[in-house]
Amino acid sequence: MTHRHRYTTGATTMSAGDPGAESRVLRISDTMTTVDLGMPGLAAPGDPGPLGAPLPGDRPHAPGLIDRFGRTATDLRVSLTDRCNLRCTYCMPAEGLPTLPRDAVMTRAEIVRLVGIATRDLGVRQVRFTGGEPLLRGDLVEIVRDVAALENRPEISLTTNAVGLDHRARDLRAAGLDRVNISLDTLDPDTYARMARRPFLARTLAGIDAAAREFDVVKINAVLVRGLNLDHAADLLSWCLERGFELRFIEQMPLDADHAWDRSAMVTAAEVRAQLGERFDLAPDEEPRDGAPAERFTVSGHGGGPRLGRVGIIASVTEPFCADCRRTRLTAEGAVRACLFAHTESDLLGPLRAGANDATLADLWRTAMWGKWAGHDMAAAGFVQPSRTMSAIGG
């Protein structure tokens, strides 16, 4: 007989007397669990190891996307395509990668249906469209418009390299897009061309200008690579601060197609702080992190100068933030990825195309997230890089 634990909507509340309570996470408040207090989740028997062991069968009867470590996913990342118009060295081989056949990729209607289920039945509040490069979807504006028209309208954002955004920003804004995250690793055209293997800096900057005209919030994501753009960090921050953009430095993650990622060569968050500290004073941001990937700092000039803005550092490798992860992902093929580094996925598109109803799809999604592991194990000797690459996940 499967246990059906008593849970309230959203906040997973377990009474201490419940069987297995000691092996599960207890919710302290609406926003805190024992995991947040740094207590390990001590998952139930059958706990999936890092390499995608079978999912536990005793998912509680709860509406939200909860997992066994007391987390609730409310932030959905949807990969709209695995195609991209750049060939970033830390992501793709120069020749690119084979891409999905057209009929394997979710259609506009399928995307909107799954996002609708997520926002109506599963407690998702934020939706971020990613790729590959989402601007390569000709129906992107329509997808955004349809999602913005959903009854439970989520906050809608886009992660893009901004190549071509200057032609789409206004329409995306009018369709309901709330904000954009733009990838920009350097302001130097030669370095950009070496890193992206495309001479598209001017087009990216034109896209950023258009985004600044249309959106209140423009975030810039930068990956620093030793020997390429590490010493560009402070200039990039100055440039962003002058324009009111929030820059976030992202530690390079082992999600590249070449499997060439080398932890010892990676630029760490500590190095970034030290690099920026040569020109700026960084102070911990007063705003709560609230499950966000980026650790944020307020930035001011040296010696107590005026506050210039904020900067964020996403230290997935050296300072992981899995204990408060609120993300769930959909691949372009309509599979749920519980974690960026997961080795297993749960197919929704197949059942959807086979006629499954919304309740069944929602339950499949819940089951996939209930089996989410505690977090990536990159620090472990036995770490195995996932076979799916960043270009087919989208961050």
Q: Which stretch binds ligand SF4 (CB under 6 A): 57-65, 184-192, 317-325, 351-359?
A: 317-325
Closest CB to ligand SF4 among residues 92, 314:
314
**Residue of 145, 232, 343, 376 interacting with ligand SF4 (CB under 6 A):** 376
Note whether 132 and 82 are within 8 A (CB).
Answer: yes
Check if the beta carbon of residue 126 is closer than 8 Å to that of residue 290.
no
CB atoms within 10 A of CB 7: 17
Which one, 41 or 60, has the nearer CB to ligand SF4? 41
CB of 52 to ligand SF4, least distance (A): 13
Is residue 143 within 8 A of residue 171, CB to CB? The reply is: no
Dist. CA 205–CA 382, nearest whole Å? 41
Residues 124-163, one symbol each (x = binds ligand SF4 by CB under 6 A, - = not), give ----------------------------------------
DSSP 33: B
Region of 2-10, 121-129, 244-252, 333-341 interacting with ligand SF4 (CB under 6 A): 333-341
DSSP 157-213: EEEE--TTGGGTHHHHHHHT--EEEEE---S-HHHHHHHHSS--HHHHHHHHHHHHH
Min CB(79)–ligand SF4 separation in Å: 14
**Binding characters for ligand SF4, 346-375, by CB under 6 A (x = yes):** -----------------------------x
- The type of residue at 20 is G
Q: What is the largest CA-CA distance in the chain?
A: 65
Nearest residue (CB) to ligand SF4, 67 versus 246: 67
Closest CB 353 distance from ligand SF4, rounded Å: 27
Please tell me the total number of residues recorded for the chain in this structure: 395
* Minimum gap (Å) between residue 159 Cβ and ligand SF4: 14
**339 is an interface residue for ligand SF4 by CB under 6 A:** yes
Instruction: Tell the smallest beta-carbon distance from residue 59 to ligand SF4 (Å).
Output: 18
Among 180, 208, 325, 361, which residue interacts with ligand SF4 (rule: CB under 6 A)? 325
Nearest to 331 by CA among 64, 129, 75: 129
The residue type of 35 is: V
**Measured on CA atoms in the order 150, 153, 154, 159, is the torsion positive or negative?**
positive
* Smallest gap from residue 329 Cβ to ligand SF4 (A): 8
* 26-34, 130-138, 148-156, 336-344 -> range binding ligand SF4 (CB under 6 A): 336-344
Instruction: Give me the least distance between CB of 393 and ligand SF4, in Å please.
Output: 10
CA distance 153 to 146: 10
- Of the pair 219, 376, the CB lying nearest ligand SF4 is at 376
- Residue showing tokens 């810039």: 220
Among 92, 220, 276, 340, the residue binding ligand SF4 under the rule CB under 6 A is 340
The 71-110 contact track toward ligand SF4, x by CB under 6 A, reads ----------------------------------------
User: How far is 313 from 297, CA to CA, in rounded Å?
Assistant: 8
| Contact string (CB under 6 A) for ligand SF4, positions 159-188, x = contact | ------------------------------
Does residue 341 belong to the site contacting ligand SF4 (CB under 6 A)?
yes
> Three-state SS for 295?
strand
* Closest CB 73 distance from ligand SF4, rounded Å: 9
Contact (Cβ atoms closer than 8 angstroms) between residue 318 and residue 275: no
Strands (DSSP E) found in the chain: 65-66, 72-73, 75-79, 126-130, 155-160, 179-183, 218-223, 246-250, 280-284, 295-301, 307-314, 327-330, 335-337, 346-347
Residue 321 interacting with ligand SF4 (CB under 6 A): yes
Residue 362 vs 378, nearer CB to ligand SF4? 378
How many residues sit close enough to ligand SF4 to count as binding (CB under 6 A)?
10
Q: Does 327 bind ligand SF4 (CB under 6 A)?
A: yes
Distance of alpha carbon 240 from alpha carbon 91, whole angstroms: 24
Question: Which residues lie near ligand SF4 (CB under 6 A)?
Answer: 320-322, 325, 327, 339-341, 375-376
